[in-house]
Amino acid sequence: MKQLSLMIDLNRCIGCRTCIVACRNYNEIVDHATAMPNEIPYYLRVESRIQGIFPDLAVDTWVVPCQHCNTPNCVNACPEGAISKDPETGVVYIDKDTCNGCNAVEGELTADKSLTSPCKVNCPAHMNVQGYVQLAAKGKFQEALQLMKEDNPLPAICGRVCDHPCESNCNRSEIDEPVAINAIKRFVADLDLNVETRYVPDIKEKKDDKVAVVGSGPAGLSCAYFLAREGYSVTLFEKETVAGGMLTTGIPSYRLPRDLIEAEIQIIWDMGVDMKNGVEFGKDVTIEQLRQQGYKSFFIGIGAQECKTLGVDGEDLEGVHSDIDFLRKVNLGEAPKLGKRVAVIGGGNSALDAARSARRLGGTEACIIYRRSLDEMPAIAEEINACRDEGIPINTLTQPVRIIGENGRVTQIECVKMQLGEPDESGRRTPEPISGSEFTIEVDNVITALGQETDWACLTPECACQLTDWGTMKVNPVTFQSDDHDIFAGGDAVTGPRTVIEAIAGGKEAAISIDRFIRGEDLLEGRKKEWAVTAAGQKEQYHPAKRALMPVAKPEERVSNFDEVQLGLTEEMVIEEAKRCLGCGSACIQACPYDVIQFDLKAGVSHKCNLCSDRTHAGELPVCAEVCMTDAITFGEYDLVKQSALADGRSIIEGLSKESLLYFK
C-alpha cells in the first residue's frame, strides 16, 4: 500500500486561507466547527507534534485533520460500516450514503453529535461506550470487543466488578432507566474466554527497550498490555504465586470466577509479556539492579494490600481476621474454619465480600457492623442488595469499642450506637456515639474491613520517589511520573483503595507516559482534555424497551457454594438492551484519537478530510494543494513526503525560522 500524505510548510504559508475556502466549497461544507481556540477549522488545525522527530525544535506544527491511521479506530467503531480504509492509498473514507449520523433525528439540530457522550466522559478509562453498545445492537460482537480493548484490556473482569459510572451518567435515565452498559460489556467481553473468538491486539514493531512492571493487579496488567502493544519488552514482577493482584486474591469467585481472570490475563502473556511470580520487589530484586540490566523505565502498581486496624482492645485475639487475609485464604483454597456467628466490621465492597464469603463457609448468622447509615455506605447498591437477599443483616450506626474474649479467643464485640453529626472532609456526616447505648454481640469470629494501605518496602534507598501524607505515591496527576524520572505509578498505590476501572485507567495513562519518556517526547503534550459533553441525547426517538434485568442464581441455592451469582444476559437480551442507547454523540467522533472527525449539521452525517480521493484517483492534487499560491502544501506518497519534510526540517534546525511547520504521519 502506498500511503498518501500531506506536508504544510509555514515558512511559505502566508495565512491567506485560500486552501480553507477551497476545501469548504469543493466538499460543500456549509456547517462546520472549529476545533481550536485560534479559529483555524478542523481540517487545518494546530497541533504540536514535531518534538518526537526534532527534539531540539519546539514549534507548533500544523497537521491535516485525518492521520489515516494504519488501524483506524473510527472504522472499528462505526456500527453502520460506513467508514473504510482504501487498501491502495491508505486513505480512510466516510460513505455519506451509509452513514446515518448514529441515528441522528432528521430535521433536528444535532449540534450535540459533535460532542462526547457522558458515558465515555465519566468512564475513568474513557472507553467508547456508545461505539461498542451500538455495535452490540447490530450483533457485531467481535467488532465491539475489539473496540473495547482499545481502552481496556480486562473488559470481561470489568463487566462483573466495575462500579459502572457510565450508567450513573447515562442520558437514558432521564426517560426511564440507564442502559445496562455493564451487562452488555460482560456479554461481549466473554468472547475472550473462548480461544476461537478471543481478541489479541496486533503488536507494533518490536523494540529493544525493556520496561519493568511491579504488581500484577489491574493497574500493572493494564500498563503491561498497552506497552506490549507498542512493541516494548515488558517483564511483570509479582510477589504472589498467582497473577491478578486483588482480582485473584481479594474478590470472591462468586463475583469474579477464576477461569475468567486467567483467560483475560493469558491474552497479555500471549502478547509477549514475561511474568515472574514469587518475586518480592525491594528484597529479591531492586530497581537499581534492573537499571543496571538495561531496563529503561518502571511502573509501580503494587496496590493497597495492608489492612488498617480498628485500634481497640482485643483486636489481637484468636478468631479476629483482616478482610484481606481472610479473602486471600478463601480465594487460594485455604479458608479458615468459621462458626455460625461471624461479624464483619466495615461498609465497603470488601466488607460485603467477606460477609458473603463467610455465609458460604457456614456462617449462617453472619452480619455486618457499620458505624454510619446506608446512605453513607461506600459499597455499591447491588452488593448491598445481594447481602440482604442472602439473609445477611447490616447493623448500621453501630461502632465496635472493644473485642472481648475467653482463653485468648474472641467471644463478643462490645458496641455503641451512633448518631450522625456534621459532614467530615469526605462529605459524609460524622458518626458520634450515643451515651449509654452500649451493648454486646455474641460472635465466633470477627473480620475487620476498615480500608487498605500500601506497603512501600519495595522502594529501596536509591529511589527518589516521595510519598504523600496519605501514604500513597506522589506522582504527576496527568502523567503518573514520580519524583524519580524513570519511575511511574498507578492504581491503588497512587489513589488509595479505589475501583478496578480506575486502576486500569491509571495503568493505561502511565503506559502512554512511559512510551513518551523512552522516546524522549513531552509527557504532558495534549494530555489535559476538556470534555464537551452531550447534554440530553436524542429524546425525540428511542427504543421503548425497558431495562433488562440481570438474571441471578436463587439466594437459597447460591449461599452454599462459590458459583457465579450473576448469570449474564442472553444474546437476544443484549441486542434488545443495546438498542435502548440514545446514540448521544457519534461513535466515530468519539473513537478518533486526534479529534478530527466533525458532524455536518445540514447533512446529518459525519465527515472529515479524505485527501480529495476522487481527485487523487484521477491523478489530480487535493484542492488545498492545487490552490495554494505559495506552494506551502506538498502532497504525495507518505515516504516521499516524509523524506522531504525531514530535509526541510534539517534546514530549519540549522538556523531558519522557528515558525516553520512540517506535517507527516
Confidence bin at 35 (pLDDT 50/70/90)? very low
CA–CA separation, 263 vs 199, rounded Å?
Answer: 11
CA–CA separation, 162 vs 309, rounded Å?
Answer: 27
Q: What percent of the chain is helix, strand and coil (3-state, nearest 5)?
A: 30, 20, 50
Which phi and psi (to 5°) does residue 45 adopt? Answer: -100, 165
Which phi and psi (to 5°) does residue 235 adopt? Answer: -115, 130
Q: How many CB atoms lie within 10 A of CB 336?
A: 14
Least confident of 63-67, 362-366, 506-510: 63-67
CA–CA separation, 349 vs 368, rounded Å?
Answer: 12
Quick one: average pLDDT of 259-269? 96
CA–CA separation, 101 vs 120, rounded Å?
Answer: 18
Side-chain half-sphere CA neighbours of 26 within 13 A:
21
Contact status, residue 43 vs residue 609, Cβ threshold 8 Å: yes
pLDDT of residue 658: 37
pLDDT tens digits, one per residue of 166-210: 999 999 998 999 999 999 999 999 999 998 999 999 999 999 999
CA–CA separation, 136 vs 579, rounded Å?
Answer: 8
pLDDT of residue 659: 38
pLDDT of residue 1: 54
Percent of the residues in the chain that have a pLDDT greater than 70, as a whole number: 89
Q: Establish whether domains 210-305+454-519 and 308-451 are of one fold.
A: yes
Quick one: average pLDDT of 137-157? 96
- Is residue 34's pLDDT more than 60? no
Contact status, residue 66 vs residue 607, Cβ threshold 8 Å: no
Contact status, residue 336 vs residue 261, Cβ threshold 8 Å: no
CA–CA separation, 137 vs 374, rounded Å?
Answer: 36
The grid coordinates of residue 556 equal 437459597
pLDDT of residue 52: 39
pLDDT of residue 60: 38
Quick one: average pLDDT of 17-24? 77
CA distances from 83 to 96, 465, 631 (A): 9, 46, 31
CA distances from 575 to 8, 77, 104, 241, 315 (A): 46, 16, 20, 40, 51
Confidence bin at 11 (pLDDT 50/70/90)? low
Which phi and psi (to 5°) does residue 359 adopt? Answer: -60, -40
Structural domain spans, the chain? 116-199+537-545+570-584, 210-305+454-519, 308-451
CA distances from 496 to 166, 303, 421, 455, 570 (A): 22, 8, 26, 12, 36
CA-atom Rg of the chain in angstroms? 28
pLDDT of residue 66: 73
pLDDT tens digits, one per residue of 522-573: 898 878 778 888 876 677 788 899 999 999 999 999 999 999 999 999 999 9
Contact status, residue 270 vs residue 263, Cβ threshold 8 Å: no
How far is C-alpha 190 from the chain's CA centre?
18
The DSSP element (H or E) to which 613 belongs, if any, is helix 613-617
Which phi and psi (to 5°) does residue 343 adopt? Answer: -110, 130
- Is residue 62's pLDDT more than 70? no
Pairing, β 409-423 against β 439-442 = antiparallel
Contact status, residue 43 vs residue 114, Cβ threshold 8 Å: no
CA–CA separation, 387 vs 378, rounded Å?
Answer: 14
CA max distance for the chain:
95
Confidence bin at 646 (pLDDT 50/70/90)? low
CA–CA separation, 472 vs 482, rounded Å?
Answer: 11
For residue 299, give the nearest of 498, 517, 462 by alpha carbon. 517
Which residues are CB-neighbours of 168 under 8 A, at least 6 positions away? 122, 178
CA–CA separation, 390 vs 364, rounded Å?
Answer: 10
Least confident of 153-162, 310-319, 500-509: 310-319
Q: In what order do the strands lie in the sheet with 394-395?
A: 320-322, 445-448, 342-345, 367-369, 394-395
CATH node for 116-199+537-545+570-584: 1.10.1060.10
The answer as to CATH 3.50.50.60 being correct for domain 210-305+454-519 is: yes
Contact status, residue 180 vs residue 570, Cβ threshold 8 Å: no
- Is residue 55's pLDDT more than 60? no
Which residues are CB-neighbours of 623 under 8 A, at least 6 positions away? 19, 22, 23, 26, 612, 615
Which residues are CB-neighbours of 577 under 8 A, at least 6 positions away? 179, 180, 183, 184, 545, 547, 548, 569
CATH node for 308-451: 3.50.50.60
Adjacent-strand bridge partners of 636: 5
CA angle 141/143/147 to nearest 5° reads 115
Quick one: average pLDDT of 125-133? 96
pTM: 0.88
pLDDT of residue 615: 87
Q: How many CB atoms lie within 10 A of CB 640?
A: 14
3-state secondary structure of 135: helix
Q: How many CB atoms lie within 10 A of CB 325?
A: 15
CA–CA separation, 400 vs 416, rounded Å?
Answer: 6
Adjacent-strand bridge partners of 30: none
Question: What is residue 285's DSSP assignment?
Answer: B
For residue 370, give the nearest of 350, 386, 390 by alpha carbon. 350
CA–CA separation, 104 vs 117, rounded Å?
Answer: 14
User: Mean pLDDT score of the chain, rounded to an integer?
Assistant: 86
Question: What is residue 102's DSSP assignment?
Answer: T
For residue 13, give the nearest of 643, 609, 653, 627 by alpha carbon. 627
pLDDT of residue 304: 79
Burial zone of 208 (CB within 10 Å; 0-12 exposed, 13-18 middle, 19+ buried) = exposed
- Is residue 602's pLDDT more than 80? no
pLDDT of residue 29: 63
Which of the pair, 526 or 76, is modelled with greater confidence?
A: 76
For residue 509, give the nearest of 534, 526, 497 by alpha carbon. 526
CA–CA separation, 550 vs 569, rounded Å?
Answer: 6
